[in-house]
Structure 1
Amino acid sequence: MQEHGRLVRWMVDPDVLPPDDPLPAAVAAAGGTLTECDSTDPEALNRVAGGGPVVFRGSVEAAAAWTAAGAPAGVWANFPALRFEVYSRPLGPWLLNAEPVRLALAELIDRREAVLDAVGAGGEVFVRPDAASKPFGGTLLRAATWQADVERLAFYDVPPSEPVLACRPRRVEREWRAVIAAGAVVAGCLYRDPAGPRVEPELPAAVRRLANAAAATGYAPDPLWCLDLCESEGSLFVLEVGAFACASLYGCDRGVIVAAAYAAVTA
Protein backbone atom coordinates (compact mmCIF):
# COMPACT_ATOMS: atom_id res chain seq x y z
CA MET A 1 0.00 0.00 0.00
CA GLN A 2 2.82 2.41 0.85
CA GLU A 3 4.45 2.01 -2.55
CA HIS A 4 1.26 2.85 -4.44
CA GLY A 5 -0.19 5.35 -1.94
CA ARG A 6 2.27 7.98 -3.15
CA LEU A 7 0.27 8.21 -6.36
CA VAL A 8 -2.78 9.58 -4.52
CA ARG A 9 -2.99 13.14 -3.27
CA TRP A 10 -5.57 14.14 -0.70
CA MET A 11 -6.74 17.73 -0.91
CA VAL A 12 -8.34 18.83 2.36
CA ASP A 13 -9.77 22.14 3.46
CA PRO A 14 -8.40 22.72 7.00
CA ASP A 15 -11.57 24.63 7.89
CA VAL A 16 -13.54 21.36 7.76
CA LEU A 17 -10.83 19.10 9.20
CA PRO A 18 -10.76 18.96 13.03
CA PRO A 19 -7.29 19.63 14.47
CA ASP A 20 -7.11 16.16 16.02
CA ASP A 21 -8.48 14.28 13.00
CA PRO A 22 -6.47 11.08 12.32
CA LEU A 23 -6.84 11.41 8.53
CA PRO A 24 -3.44 13.11 7.89
CA ALA A 25 -1.63 10.38 9.81
CA ALA A 26 -3.54 7.66 7.95
CA VAL A 27 -2.72 9.21 4.57
CA ALA A 28 0.96 9.52 5.52
CA ALA A 29 1.06 5.93 6.79
CA ALA A 30 -0.25 4.77 3.41
CA GLY A 31 2.45 6.70 1.58
CA GLY A 32 0.08 9.32 0.23
CA THR A 33 0.30 13.09 0.46
CA LEU A 34 -2.16 15.51 2.00
CA THR A 35 -2.37 19.10 0.85
CA GLU A 36 -4.34 21.72 2.71
CA CYS A 37 -6.30 24.00 0.43
CA ASP A 38 -8.78 26.81 0.43
CA SER A 39 -12.12 25.46 -0.76
CA THR A 40 -13.04 28.91 -2.03
CA ASP A 41 -10.09 28.94 -4.46
CA PRO A 42 -11.50 27.71 -7.80
CA GLU A 43 -8.04 26.81 -9.10
CA ALA A 44 -6.90 24.82 -6.07
CA LEU A 45 -8.28 21.51 -7.27
CA ASN A 46 -6.72 21.87 -10.72
CA ARG A 47 -3.32 22.61 -9.23
CA VAL A 48 -3.39 19.54 -7.01
CA ALA A 49 -5.07 17.23 -9.52
CA GLY A 50 -2.42 18.06 -12.10
CA GLY A 51 -0.03 15.78 -10.23
CA GLY A 52 -2.16 12.61 -10.41
CA PRO A 53 -5.21 11.11 -8.70
CA VAL A 54 -6.77 13.28 -6.01
CA VAL A 55 -9.25 12.68 -3.21
CA PHE A 56 -11.07 15.78 -1.99
CA ARG A 57 -12.45 16.56 1.47
CA GLY A 58 -13.93 20.01 1.96
CA SER A 59 -16.98 22.21 1.93
CA VAL A 60 -20.33 21.41 0.35
CA GLU A 61 -20.10 24.57 -1.72
CA ALA A 62 -16.70 23.72 -3.18
CA ALA A 63 -17.61 20.10 -3.87
CA ALA A 64 -20.82 21.17 -5.62
CA ALA A 65 -19.01 23.77 -7.73
CA TRP A 66 -16.21 21.44 -8.77
CA THR A 67 -18.57 18.56 -9.49
CA ALA A 68 -20.74 20.79 -11.68
CA ALA A 69 -17.62 21.95 -13.52
CA GLY A 70 -16.49 18.40 -14.26
CA ALA A 71 -14.09 17.76 -11.39
CA PRO A 72 -11.61 14.89 -11.68
CA ALA A 73 -12.22 11.51 -10.06
CA GLY A 74 -11.93 11.68 -6.30
CA VAL A 75 -14.34 14.58 -5.74
CA TRP A 76 -17.13 12.32 -4.54
CA ALA A 77 -20.17 14.55 -4.21
CA ASN A 78 -22.72 13.50 -6.84
CA PHE A 79 -25.47 15.68 -5.40
CA PRO A 80 -28.10 14.93 -8.09
CA ALA A 81 -27.85 11.21 -7.25
CA LEU A 82 -27.93 11.94 -3.50
CA ARG A 83 -31.42 13.45 -3.57
CA PHE A 84 -34.17 11.64 -1.70
CA GLU A 85 -36.22 11.19 -4.85
CA VAL A 86 -33.33 9.13 -6.28
CA TYR A 87 -32.18 7.03 -3.31
CA SER A 88 -35.69 6.40 -1.95
CA ARG A 89 -36.37 3.96 -4.78
CA PRO A 90 -33.61 1.43 -4.02
CA LEU A 91 -33.46 2.10 -0.27
CA GLY A 92 -37.21 2.52 0.31
CA PRO A 93 -37.76 -0.68 2.32
CA TRP A 94 -35.45 0.53 5.09
CA LEU A 95 -36.11 4.29 5.18
CA LEU A 96 -37.18 5.99 8.39
CA ASN A 97 -39.18 8.55 6.38
CA ALA A 98 -40.39 6.23 3.66
CA GLU A 99 -43.47 8.18 2.51
CA PRO A 100 -42.94 11.93 2.90
CA VAL A 101 -44.86 14.62 1.10
CA ARG A 102 -42.49 16.16 -1.43
CA LEU A 103 -43.25 19.74 -2.42
CA ALA A 104 -41.61 23.10 -3.02
CA LEU A 105 -40.81 25.22 0.02
CA ALA A 106 -43.22 27.92 -1.19
CA GLU A 107 -46.08 25.40 -1.21
CA LEU A 108 -45.84 24.65 2.50
CA ILE A 109 -47.97 27.63 3.50
CA ASP A 110 -50.79 27.07 1.01
CA ARG A 111 -50.85 23.30 1.58
CA ARG A 112 -50.71 23.46 5.37
CA GLU A 113 -53.86 21.44 6.02
CA ALA A 114 -53.09 18.80 3.40
CA VAL A 115 -49.58 18.29 4.78
CA LEU A 116 -50.81 18.08 8.37
CA ASP A 117 -53.47 15.57 7.35
CA ALA A 118 -50.96 13.44 5.45
CA VAL A 119 -47.96 13.32 7.81
CA GLY A 120 -48.80 15.39 10.89
CA ALA A 121 -48.61 14.01 14.42
CA GLY A 122 -49.72 16.03 17.43
CA GLY A 123 -49.99 19.13 15.25
CA GLU A 124 -46.38 18.87 14.12
CA VAL A 125 -44.59 18.00 10.88
CA PHE A 126 -40.88 17.43 10.38
CA VAL A 127 -39.47 19.20 7.31
CA ARG A 128 -36.07 18.56 5.76
CA PRO A 129 -34.48 19.39 2.40
CA ASP A 130 -34.61 16.88 -0.43
CA ALA A 131 -31.05 17.83 -1.36
CA ALA A 132 -28.05 16.16 0.30
CA SER A 133 -26.28 19.54 0.23
CA LYS A 134 -28.68 20.52 3.03
CA PRO A 135 -29.50 24.18 2.36
CA PHE A 136 -31.18 24.13 5.79
CA GLY A 137 -31.33 21.76 8.74
CA GLY A 138 -34.35 19.60 9.44
CA THR A 139 -36.92 21.39 11.58
CA LEU A 140 -40.37 20.99 13.09
CA LEU A 141 -43.32 22.99 11.79
CA ARG A 142 -46.14 23.44 14.31
CA ALA A 143 -49.74 23.96 13.34
CA ALA A 144 -50.11 26.90 15.74
CA THR A 145 -47.10 28.79 14.32
CA TRP A 146 -46.97 27.28 10.83
CA GLN A 147 -46.46 30.38 8.70
CA ALA A 148 -43.84 31.86 11.03
CA ASP A 149 -42.00 28.52 11.14
CA VAL A 150 -41.91 28.33 7.33
CA GLU A 151 -40.89 31.96 6.94
CA ARG A 152 -38.02 31.41 9.36
CA LEU A 153 -36.41 29.16 6.75
CA ALA A 154 -35.90 32.27 4.61
CA PHE A 155 -33.06 33.09 7.00
CA TYR A 156 -31.04 30.38 5.20
CA ASP A 157 -31.67 31.98 1.78
CA VAL A 158 -33.56 28.89 0.65
CA PRO A 159 -35.25 29.62 -2.70
CA PRO A 160 -39.05 29.21 -2.78
CA SER A 161 -38.71 26.50 -5.43
CA GLU A 162 -36.42 24.32 -3.28
CA PRO A 163 -37.90 20.80 -2.96
CA VAL A 164 -38.52 19.81 0.64
CA LEU A 165 -39.77 16.67 2.36
CA ALA A 166 -42.59 16.91 4.89
CA CYS A 167 -42.42 13.85 7.14
CA ARG A 168 -44.18 12.42 10.14
CA PRO A 169 -42.10 13.29 13.23
CA ARG A 170 -40.19 10.29 14.52
CA ARG A 171 -38.13 9.97 17.66
CA VAL A 172 -34.57 9.01 16.76
CA GLU A 173 -32.30 7.46 19.36
CA ARG A 174 -28.84 6.39 18.25
CA GLU A 175 -27.32 7.24 14.87
CA TRP A 176 -24.49 5.59 12.95
CA ARG A 177 -22.49 6.54 9.88
CA ALA A 178 -21.18 3.96 7.40
CA VAL A 179 -18.75 4.57 4.56
CA ILE A 180 -19.65 2.48 1.51
CA ALA A 181 -17.33 1.37 -1.31
CA ALA A 182 -17.67 -1.36 -3.94
CA GLY A 183 -21.14 -2.31 -2.72
CA ALA A 184 -20.21 -2.96 0.92
CA VAL A 185 -19.48 -1.25 4.22
CA VAL A 186 -15.78 -0.46 4.64
CA ALA A 187 -15.98 1.56 7.87
CA GLY A 188 -18.58 2.80 10.30
CA CYS A 189 -19.20 4.25 13.74
CA LEU A 190 -21.76 5.47 16.22
CA TYR A 191 -21.90 9.27 16.17
CA ARG A 192 -25.01 10.24 18.12
CA ASP A 193 -26.40 8.82 21.34
CA PRO A 194 -29.14 10.35 23.52
CA ALA A 195 -27.25 9.14 26.59
CA GLY A 196 -24.52 11.69 25.89
CA PRO A 197 -21.80 12.68 23.42
CA ARG A 198 -19.75 9.64 22.47
CA VAL A 199 -18.32 8.01 19.39
CA GLU A 200 -17.82 4.26 18.97
CA PRO A 201 -15.54 3.20 16.09
CA GLU A 202 -17.53 0.07 15.19
CA LEU A 203 -20.99 -0.79 13.91
CA PRO A 204 -23.12 -3.27 15.85
CA ALA A 205 -23.72 -6.47 13.88
CA ALA A 206 -27.39 -5.66 13.17
CA VAL A 207 -26.53 -2.16 11.97
CA ARG A 208 -23.76 -3.50 9.72
CA ARG A 209 -26.15 -6.06 8.21
CA LEU A 210 -28.65 -3.33 7.37
CA ALA A 211 -25.93 -1.10 5.92
CA ASN A 212 -24.58 -3.93 3.79
CA ALA A 213 -28.08 -4.77 2.54
CA ALA A 214 -28.56 -1.15 1.47
CA ALA A 215 -25.09 -1.06 -0.10
CA ALA A 216 -25.81 -4.24 -2.07
CA THR A 217 -28.87 -2.80 -3.87
CA GLY A 218 -26.72 -1.39 -6.66
CA TYR A 219 -27.34 2.20 -5.60
CA ALA A 220 -23.92 3.87 -5.73
CA PRO A 221 -23.90 7.65 -6.25
CA ASP A 222 -20.10 7.70 -6.02
CA PRO A 223 -17.23 5.23 -5.59
CA LEU A 224 -17.25 6.21 -1.90
CA TRP A 225 -20.38 7.53 -0.21
CA CYS A 226 -21.88 7.77 3.25
CA LEU A 227 -24.94 6.06 4.65
CA ASP A 228 -26.56 7.15 7.91
CA LEU A 229 -28.60 4.68 9.94
CA CYS A 230 -30.62 5.13 13.07
CA GLU A 231 -32.62 3.43 15.79
CA SER A 232 -36.22 4.55 16.30
CA GLU A 233 -38.77 2.92 18.59
CA GLY A 234 -36.65 -0.20 18.87
CA SER A 235 -36.10 -0.73 15.12
CA LEU A 236 -33.26 0.10 12.74
CA PHE A 237 -33.69 2.30 9.68
CA VAL A 238 -31.77 4.06 6.94
CA LEU A 239 -31.85 7.75 7.83
CA GLU A 240 -30.23 9.37 4.78
CA VAL A 241 -27.23 9.31 2.46
CA GLY A 242 -24.38 11.78 2.12
CA ALA A 243 -21.43 12.85 0.00
CA PHE A 244 -18.08 11.40 1.06
CA ALA A 245 -16.35 14.62 0.05
CA CYS A 246 -18.21 16.65 2.67
CA ALA A 247 -19.56 14.29 5.35
CA SER A 248 -17.86 14.04 8.73
CA LEU A 249 -16.11 10.72 9.29
CA TYR A 250 -16.47 10.85 13.10
CA GLY A 251 -14.91 7.67 14.52
CA CYS A 252 -14.68 5.74 11.25
CA ASP A 253 -11.36 3.95 10.71
CA ARG A 254 -9.29 6.35 8.62
CA GLY A 255 -6.77 3.72 7.56
CA VAL A 256 -9.48 1.52 6.03
CA ILE A 257 -11.03 4.55 4.34
CA VAL A 258 -7.70 5.67 2.86
CA ALA A 259 -7.19 2.17 1.42
CA ALA A 260 -10.71 2.13 -0.08
CA ALA A 261 -10.23 5.60 -1.56
CA TYR A 262 -6.93 4.56 -3.13
CA ALA A 263 -8.56 1.50 -4.68
CA ALA A 264 -11.42 3.58 -6.05
CA VAL A 265 -9.46 6.48 -7.46
CA THR A 266 -6.88 4.29 -9.15
CA ALA A 267 -9.29 1.65 -10.49
Structure 2
Amino acid sequence: MTAELKAWVTQPDAFPPPEPDWADAGIALGTLHPNGDAGGDYPLDGRELYRGTLQTIARVRRRLCGQRRDEPLIWCDLDRLRCSYYAPRLPPGTWLQEGAYWAPLGLLNDVRFRSRGDRFVRPDAGDKPFTGQVVRSGYEAGDLEIIRRQAPPETLCVVADAQEVTDEYRAVVRERIDGGCEVVTGCRYGSPTDDDVEAGLPDDVADFLRDVMEGFHGVGDPMFVADAARLADGRVKVLELNGLSTSGLYACDARAIVDAAKAAVRDWYA
Protein backbone atom coordinates (compact mmCIF):
# COMPACT_ATOMS: atom_id res chain seq x y z
CA MET A 1 0.00 0.00 0.00
CA THR A 2 1.10 3.56 -0.70
CA ALA A 3 2.18 5.28 2.52
CA GLU A 4 1.48 8.81 1.34
CA LEU A 5 -1.51 10.97 2.22
CA LYS A 6 -2.57 12.72 -1.00
CA ALA A 7 -6.08 14.04 -0.38
CA TRP A 8 -8.36 15.41 2.33
CA VAL A 9 -11.94 14.44 1.47
CA THR A 10 -14.69 16.18 3.48
CA GLN A 11 -18.48 16.05 3.40
CA PRO A 12 -19.82 19.62 2.99
CA ASP A 13 -22.00 20.88 5.84
CA ALA A 14 -21.30 17.77 7.92
CA PHE A 15 -19.79 19.74 10.78
CA PRO A 16 -20.83 22.87 12.69
CA PRO A 17 -19.08 26.04 11.48
CA PRO A 18 -16.44 27.17 11.40
CA GLU A 19 -14.15 24.61 9.78
CA PRO A 20 -10.39 25.17 9.35
CA ASP A 21 -9.28 26.67 6.02
CA TRP A 22 -8.22 23.48 4.24
CA ALA A 23 -7.41 25.42 1.06
CA ASP A 24 -4.13 26.57 2.63
CA ALA A 25 -3.28 23.26 4.29
CA GLY A 26 -0.99 21.95 1.57
CA ILE A 27 -3.04 19.00 0.36
CA ALA A 28 -5.43 18.18 -2.49
CA LEU A 29 -9.08 18.46 -1.48
CA GLY A 30 -12.02 16.24 -2.34
CA THR A 31 -15.74 16.17 -1.63
CA LEU A 32 -17.51 13.34 0.16
CA HIS A 33 -21.18 12.95 -0.75
CA PRO A 34 -23.80 11.69 1.71
CA ASN A 35 -24.25 8.48 -0.31
CA GLY A 36 -20.58 7.60 0.29
CA ASP A 37 -19.27 8.61 -3.14
CA ALA A 38 -16.23 10.87 -3.33
CA GLY A 39 -14.93 13.19 -6.00
CA GLY A 40 -12.26 15.75 -6.66
CA ASP A 41 -9.15 16.53 -8.63
CA TYR A 42 -6.60 14.68 -6.56
CA PRO A 43 -3.97 11.97 -7.20
CA LEU A 44 -5.11 8.36 -7.02
CA ASP A 45 -1.64 6.98 -6.29
CA GLY A 46 -1.88 7.65 -2.57
CA ARG A 47 -4.28 7.57 0.35
CA GLU A 48 -7.29 9.81 1.03
CA LEU A 49 -8.54 10.64 4.50
CA TYR A 50 -12.33 10.84 4.69
CA ARG A 51 -14.35 13.09 7.03
CA GLY A 52 -18.12 13.22 7.35
CA THR A 53 -21.10 12.35 9.49
CA LEU A 54 -21.22 8.97 11.18
CA GLN A 55 -23.89 7.85 8.73
CA THR A 56 -21.86 8.86 5.67
CA ILE A 57 -18.64 7.36 7.02
CA ALA A 58 -20.53 4.09 7.61
CA ARG A 59 -21.55 4.12 3.93
CA VAL A 60 -17.93 4.68 2.89
CA ARG A 61 -16.87 1.68 4.96
CA ARG A 62 -19.45 -0.52 3.25
CA ARG A 63 -18.79 0.73 -0.29
CA LEU A 64 -15.03 1.23 -0.48
CA CYS A 65 -13.21 -0.64 2.24
CA GLY A 66 -11.93 -3.97 0.98
CA GLN A 67 -12.57 -2.99 -2.64
CA ARG A 68 -9.31 -1.16 -3.35
CA ARG A 69 -5.63 -1.80 -2.86
CA ASP A 70 -5.19 1.53 -1.04
CA GLU A 71 -8.25 1.70 1.16
CA PRO A 72 -9.55 5.15 2.14
CA LEU A 73 -8.45 6.24 5.58
CA ILE A 74 -11.26 6.44 8.13
CA TRP A 75 -10.03 7.37 11.58
CA CYS A 76 -12.98 6.59 13.80
CA ASP A 77 -12.73 3.29 15.68
CA LEU A 78 -16.13 3.30 17.38
CA ASP A 79 -15.36 0.23 19.47
CA ARG A 80 -12.50 2.11 21.15
CA LEU A 81 -14.38 5.40 21.35
CA ARG A 82 -16.67 4.00 24.03
CA CYS A 83 -16.27 5.66 27.43
CA SER A 84 -15.91 2.20 28.96
CA TYR A 85 -12.86 1.60 26.73
CA TYR A 86 -10.89 4.83 27.01
CA ALA A 87 -11.87 6.19 30.44
CA PRO A 88 -10.06 3.42 32.41
CA ARG A 89 -6.94 4.10 30.31
CA LEU A 90 -6.77 7.82 31.18
CA PRO A 91 -4.68 8.92 34.18
CA PRO A 92 -6.70 8.76 37.43
CA GLY A 93 -8.61 11.92 38.24
CA THR A 94 -8.53 13.37 34.72
CA TRP A 95 -11.90 12.25 33.28
CA LEU A 96 -14.90 14.53 33.92
CA GLN A 97 -17.23 11.65 34.75
CA GLU A 98 -14.86 9.84 37.11
CA GLY A 99 -16.89 8.03 39.77
CA ALA A 100 -19.66 7.27 37.29
CA TYR A 101 -21.58 4.03 37.01
CA TRP A 102 -22.83 2.29 33.85
CA ALA A 103 -26.38 0.99 33.38
CA PRO A 104 -28.81 0.26 30.52
CA LEU A 105 -31.17 3.15 29.85
CA GLY A 106 -34.20 0.97 30.57
CA LEU A 107 -33.00 0.36 34.14
CA LEU A 108 -32.63 4.03 34.98
CA ASN A 109 -35.65 5.27 36.88
CA ASP A 110 -36.60 8.26 38.97
CA VAL A 111 -36.51 6.26 42.22
CA ARG A 112 -32.83 5.43 41.67
CA PHE A 113 -32.04 9.11 41.05
CA ARG A 114 -34.14 10.63 43.82
CA SER A 115 -32.32 12.60 46.54
CA ARG A 116 -28.98 12.30 44.75
CA GLY A 117 -28.81 15.82 43.30
CA ASP A 118 -28.51 16.65 39.61
CA ARG A 119 -27.08 13.79 37.57
CA PHE A 120 -25.51 13.72 34.10
CA VAL A 121 -26.49 10.91 31.72
CA ARG A 122 -24.76 10.16 28.40
CA PRO A 123 -24.45 7.10 26.17
CA ASP A 124 -21.37 4.95 26.57
CA ALA A 125 -21.02 4.66 22.78
CA GLY A 126 -19.06 7.02 20.57
CA ASP A 127 -21.92 7.08 18.03
CA LYS A 128 -24.26 8.63 20.56
CA PRO A 129 -28.00 8.13 19.99
CA PHE A 130 -28.53 11.17 22.24
CA THR A 131 -26.32 13.91 23.60
CA GLY A 132 -25.43 13.99 27.27
CA GLN A 133 -28.18 15.52 29.39
CA VAL A 134 -28.67 16.60 33.00
CA VAL A 135 -31.37 14.85 34.98
CA ARG A 136 -32.45 17.52 37.44
CA SER A 137 -33.18 16.82 41.07
CA GLY A 138 -36.94 16.96 41.54
CA TYR A 139 -37.63 16.46 37.83
CA GLU A 140 -36.22 12.96 37.46
CA ALA A 141 -39.25 11.28 35.93
CA GLY A 142 -39.78 13.90 33.22
CA ASP A 143 -36.11 14.30 32.32
CA LEU A 144 -35.55 10.55 32.08
CA GLU A 145 -38.64 10.17 29.89
CA ILE A 146 -37.18 12.71 27.42
CA ILE A 147 -34.00 10.61 27.20
CA ARG A 148 -35.92 7.33 26.85
CA ARG A 149 -37.68 8.67 23.76
CA GLN A 150 -34.33 9.05 22.01
CA ALA A 151 -32.77 5.61 22.45
CA PRO A 152 -33.74 1.96 23.01
CA PRO A 153 -33.80 0.60 26.58
CA GLU A 154 -30.66 -1.53 26.09
CA THR A 155 -28.54 1.58 25.39
CA LEU A 156 -25.65 1.49 27.86
CA CYS A 157 -25.39 4.82 29.69
CA VAL A 158 -22.83 6.58 31.85
CA VAL A 159 -24.36 8.20 34.96
CA ALA A 160 -22.34 10.72 36.98
CA ASP A 161 -22.74 13.76 39.19
CA ALA A 162 -23.60 16.83 37.13
CA GLN A 163 -20.85 19.45 37.12
CA GLU A 164 -20.86 23.08 36.04
CA VAL A 165 -18.81 23.49 32.85
CA THR A 166 -17.80 27.01 31.78
CA ASP A 167 -15.69 26.34 28.66
CA GLU A 168 -15.12 23.48 26.24
CA TYR A 169 -12.02 22.87 24.13
CA ARG A 170 -11.12 20.56 21.24
CA ALA A 171 -7.64 19.20 20.60
CA VAL A 172 -6.37 17.12 17.71
CA VAL A 173 -4.08 14.38 19.00
CA ARG A 174 -1.57 12.16 17.21
CA GLU A 175 -0.45 8.80 18.55
CA ARG A 176 3.30 8.37 18.23
CA ILE A 177 4.51 5.16 16.66
CA ASP A 178 6.90 4.66 19.61
CA GLY A 179 4.11 5.04 22.18
CA GLY A 180 2.18 7.82 23.86
CA CYS A 181 0.32 10.67 22.22
CA GLU A 182 0.92 14.34 21.50
CA VAL A 183 -1.38 17.32 21.02
CA VAL A 184 -1.13 18.76 17.50
CA THR A 185 -3.43 21.77 17.73
CA GLY A 186 -6.57 22.91 19.50
CA CYS A 187 -9.17 25.59 20.05
CA ARG A 188 -12.04 26.69 22.25
CA TYR A 189 -15.34 25.71 20.65
CA GLY A 190 -17.87 27.09 23.12
CA SER A 191 -19.60 26.49 26.41
CA PRO A 192 -23.08 25.59 27.62
CA THR A 193 -24.03 29.28 27.21
CA ASP A 194 -22.26 30.40 24.02
CA ASP A 195 -20.83 29.17 20.73
CA ASP A 196 -17.79 31.44 20.60
CA VAL A 197 -14.85 29.81 18.84
CA GLU A 198 -11.28 30.88 19.54
CA ALA A 199 -8.11 29.52 17.95
CA GLY A 200 -5.51 28.00 20.25
CA LEU A 201 -5.67 26.54 23.74
CA PRO A 202 -5.06 28.40 27.02
CA ASP A 203 -1.73 27.45 28.56
CA ASP A 204 -3.26 25.48 31.43
CA VAL A 205 -5.53 23.50 29.08
CA ALA A 206 -2.64 22.78 26.70
CA ASP A 207 -0.43 21.69 29.61
CA PHE A 208 -3.18 19.48 31.03
CA LEU A 209 -3.86 17.73 27.74
CA ARG A 210 -0.15 17.32 27.00
CA ASP A 211 0.40 15.61 30.37
CA VAL A 212 -2.70 13.41 30.00
CA MET A 213 -1.87 12.31 26.46
CA GLU A 214 1.83 11.71 27.04
CA GLY A 215 1.17 8.29 28.55
CA PHE A 216 -2.10 7.50 26.77
CA HIS A 217 -1.95 4.76 24.14
CA GLY A 218 -4.66 5.97 21.81
CA VAL A 219 -7.95 4.67 20.49
CA GLY A 220 -6.81 2.51 17.59
CA ASP A 221 -6.19 5.24 15.00
CA PRO A 222 -3.12 7.38 14.22
CA MET A 223 -5.03 10.55 15.13
CA PHE A 224 -8.15 11.38 17.12
CA VAL A 225 -9.88 14.25 18.90
CA ALA A 226 -9.82 14.95 22.65
CA ASP A 227 -12.30 17.36 24.22
CA ALA A 228 -11.58 19.09 27.51
CA ALA A 229 -13.86 21.02 29.86
CA ARG A 230 -13.10 23.80 32.32
CA LEU A 231 -15.21 23.58 35.46
CA ALA A 232 -16.60 26.49 37.46
CA ASP A 233 -13.85 26.00 40.07
CA GLY A 234 -11.15 26.34 37.38
CA ARG A 235 -10.15 22.69 37.09
CA VAL A 236 -9.72 21.13 33.64
CA LYS A 237 -10.93 17.61 32.84
CA VAL A 238 -11.15 15.34 29.81
CA LEU A 239 -14.70 15.57 28.48
CA GLU A 240 -14.59 12.82 25.84
CA LEU A 241 -12.64 11.36 22.92
CA ASN A 242 -13.90 11.23 19.33
CA GLY A 243 -12.80 10.15 15.87
CA LEU A 244 -10.93 12.58 13.61
CA SER A 245 -13.04 11.46 10.65
CA THR A 246 -16.34 12.33 12.34
CA SER A 247 -15.52 15.48 14.34
CA GLY A 248 -15.76 19.17 13.57
CA LEU A 249 -12.41 20.92 13.94
CA TYR A 250 -13.59 24.53 14.36
CA ALA A 251 -10.60 26.89 14.64
CA CYS A 252 -7.87 24.25 14.88
CA ASP A 253 -4.80 24.83 12.70
CA ALA A 254 -5.46 23.20 9.30
CA ARG A 255 -1.82 23.06 8.23
CA ALA A 256 -0.75 21.50 11.55
CA ILE A 257 -3.46 18.83 11.26
CA VAL A 258 -2.60 17.90 7.69
CA ASP A 259 1.15 17.86 8.35
CA ALA A 260 0.60 15.58 11.35
CA ALA A 261 -1.72 13.34 9.31
CA LYS A 262 0.87 13.02 6.52
CA ALA A 263 3.54 12.05 9.04
CA ALA A 264 1.16 9.60 10.73
CA VAL A 265 0.35 7.90 7.44
CA ARG A 266 4.06 7.45 6.68
CA ASP A 267 4.62 5.99 10.15
CA TRP A 268 1.59 3.72 10.33
CA TYR A 269 1.16 2.49 6.77
CA ALA A 270 4.69 2.16 5.43
TM-score normalized with structure 2 length:
0.82
For 1:39, the equivalent position in structure 2 comes to: 34
Instruction: Please give the per-residue CA displacement for 1:52-104, whole angstroms capped at 9, x wherever unaligned.
Output: 20111100123345458884362110111011111111214201110112111
Task: Quote the Cα distance in structure 1 between the aligned partners of 2:46 and 2:195.
Answer: 39
- The whole-number CA distance in structure 2 between the counterparts of 1:223 and 1:93 is 25
* 1:164-179 correspondence to structure 2 within 5 Å: 164-179=157-172
Bigger helix fraction: 1
Letter of the 2:52 counterpart: G
Segments of 5+ residues of structure 1 without an aligned counterpart are none
Partner in structure 2 of residue 130 of structure 1: 124
User: Alpha carbons of 1:116 and 1:225: their partners in 2 closer, same or farther (altered >3 Å)?
Assistant: farther
Which AA in structure 1 matches 2:197? Answer: V
Query: Contact 1:14–1:37 (CA<8 Å) still a contact in 2?
Result: yes
The sequence identity of aligned pairs, in percent, is 28
After superposition, the C-alpha distances for 1:151-206 in whole angstroms (9 at most, x for unaligned) are 323443x1211111111010001111110013100001111147854222111222
Decide whether the 8 Å contact of 2:5 with 2:261 is kept in 1.
no
AA in 2 matched with 1:212: R
| Structure-2 residue corresponding to 1:230 | 229
Distance 1:139 1:68, change over 3 A: farther
RMSD over aligned CA atoms reads 2.9
Aligned residues: 251
CA contact (8 A) 1:175 1:193 kept: yes
Structure 1 letter corresponding to 2:200? E
2:134 is aligned with 1:140: yes
> What is the TM-score normalised by the length of structure 1?
0.83
Residues 192, 198 of structure 1: 8 Å contact kept: yes
Letter in 2 for 1:87: Y
Task: Kindly state the Cα deviation for residue 225 of structure 1 after the two structures are TM-superposed.
Answer: 0.5
Q: Distance in 1 between matches of 2:225 and 2:93?
A: 18
Separation in 2 of the partners of 1:64 and 1:23? 25
Indicate whether 1:215 and 2:210 are aligned: no
Q: Relative contact order: is structure 1 or structure 2 higher (C-alpha 8 Å, sep ≥ 6)? A: 2
